[in-house]
Structure 1
Amino acid sequence: MADTPPIVMNEETHRFEAYLDGETAFAEYVLHNGAIVLPHTVVPPAFEGLGVGSALATTALRYARDHGLTVKPSCPFIAGYIKRHPEWHDLVDPTYRERLGL
């Protein structure tokens, strides 16, 4: 498996991003009232098998933890990632817990 490209937080586009061969994978975010809303993630085929989706999710969730934010995962990919990784369950905003079955 090749190395996962680095993830950067692009405050101008409101996305966590990774770049490879002229393409961008990203997880959009919105900061609002002590929460980070994660509405959409895109991982182009060029990134397949590199762990980029997981790295985007982990980077966004670490950012939330480091900044004392709750997480509102409206993106199905991010929601699924959180469901599979209990170490992030405590970050989920109470209004989203039932949706995720937590």
Structure 2
Amino acid sequence: MTEATTEIELEGNDAGGRYVLRGPGGAEAEITFRRPDRHQLIIDHTTVPDVFRGQGVGTKLVARVVEDARAAGVKIVPLCPFAAAQFARHPEWADVLKQ
């Protein structure tokens, strides 16, 4: 991955948005989310184009959501199967998982 693609950006508003990592040729890896209220964030979908495969980009995106949720005191509902699988693999993220 090049230097220009290492920054995950947050785009959105109080209702929802996405975390995106841009790569070569305009490729974008992203996690989309909704905010039904100020206390929770619902991860809807994760997309990782082939150009990013094998680099842990999907996990990095989920980790960024977790980091931001911790800082904001928000709980996460991982509806996306990929995000749910990552939460199962990372018990250290349980503090932000909405039960």
TM-score range, shorter chain: 0.7 to 0.9
Give 3-state SS (helix, strand or coil) of 2:22's partner: strand
1:59-94 Cα offsets, whole Å, 9 max, x none, are 011111110001100000000001100111121112
Q: Which residue of 2 aligns with 1:97?
A: none
By how many angstroms is 1:10 displaced? Answer: 1.0
Q: Aligned pairs, how many?
A: 93
Instruction: Return the alpha-carbon distance in structure 2 between the equivalents of residues 68 and 45 of structure 1.
Output: 33
TM norm structure 1 = 0.83
Give 3-state SS (helix, strand or coil) of 1:29's partner: strand
Q: Which residue of 2 aligns with 1:30?
A: 34
Q: Which residue of 1 aligns with 2:11?
A: 10
Q: Mind listing any 5+ residue stretches in structure 2 that lack a counterpart?
A: none
Q: Mind listing any 5+ residue stretches in structure 1 that lack a counterpart?
A: 95-102
Alignment of 1:80-99 (within 5 A): 80-94=85-99
Q: Which residue of 2 aligns with 1:99?
A: none
TM norm structure 2 = 0.86
Q: Residue type matched to 2:53 in 1?
A: E
Q: Which residue of 1 aligns with 2:83?
A: 78
Instruction: Return the alpha-carbon distance in structure 2 between the equivalents of residues 10 and 39 of structure 1.
Output: 15
Structure 1 segments, 4+ long, off by >2 Å, are 2-5
1:42-71 Cα offsets, whole Å, 9 max, x none, are 000011122210110000111111100011
Instruction: Return the alpha-carbon distance in structure 2 between the equivalents of residues 49 and 74 of structure 1.
Output: 23
